[in-house]
């Protein structure tokens, strides 16, 4: 492996590591909310649901259960993100073991599969300088930066 390939491999591994970190960071607050919701569910289930406030307590229990189920959606997003990173690393191994393809092909494949622009921006920070520029759609208008505080929806 020559020096350029070694540098590119280091960038690929750094990009994959950062994507794993992003997946964990993205899920952190969702896991906390889910834990809080499960605590509230346990407290609600400990109540006497046959008492005079049973109807209100059961409605509260149902609402909390819906929040807990919604809280589990982070798991699907995190699993998708980590699956893409795993495929990225597998593609890197394939690229290293054969002369077919390039790191650029592997990088583009991951960028196309990532779930949000935030993830793609982090990927681009670790790769070749022109990586992000090559991923932007060409067109008439100038660059439009996302407003601060924008979130990626999935």
Domain residue ranges of the chain, discontinuous segments joined by +: 3-134
> What's the length of the chain?
154
In the prediction, which pLDDT does 124 show?
67
Q: How far apart are CA 115 and CA 80, in angstroms?
A: 8
Residue 62's pLDDT band (cuts 50, 70, 90): very high
Closest CA to 27 of 85, 80, 67, 90: 80
Is residue 106 over pLDDT 80? no
More confident residue, 106 or 143: 106
Q: Which two tokens stand for residue 139?
A: 């067109």
Q: What pLDDT sits at residue 3?
A: 78
């Amino acid at each position: 492996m020559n020096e350029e390939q070694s540098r590119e491999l280091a960038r690929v591994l750094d990009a994959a590591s950062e994507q794993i970190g992003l997946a964990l960071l993205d899920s952190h607050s969702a896991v906390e909310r889910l834990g809080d919701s499960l605590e509230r569910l346990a407290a609600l289930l400990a109540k006497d649901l046959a008492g005079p406030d049973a109807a209100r307590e059961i409605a509260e229990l149902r609402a909390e259960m819906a929040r807990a189920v919604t809280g589990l959606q982070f798991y699907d997003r995190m699993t998708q993100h980590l699956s893409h990173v795993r495929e990225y690393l597998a593609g890197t191994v394939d690229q290293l073991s054969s002369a077919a393809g390039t790191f650029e092909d592997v990088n583009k494949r991951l960028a196309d599969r990532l779930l949000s622009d935030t993830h793609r921006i982090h990927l681009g920070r670790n790769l070749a300088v022109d990586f992000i520029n090559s991923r932007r759609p060409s067109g008439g208008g100038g660059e439009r930066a996302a407003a601060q505080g924008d979130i990626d929806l999935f």
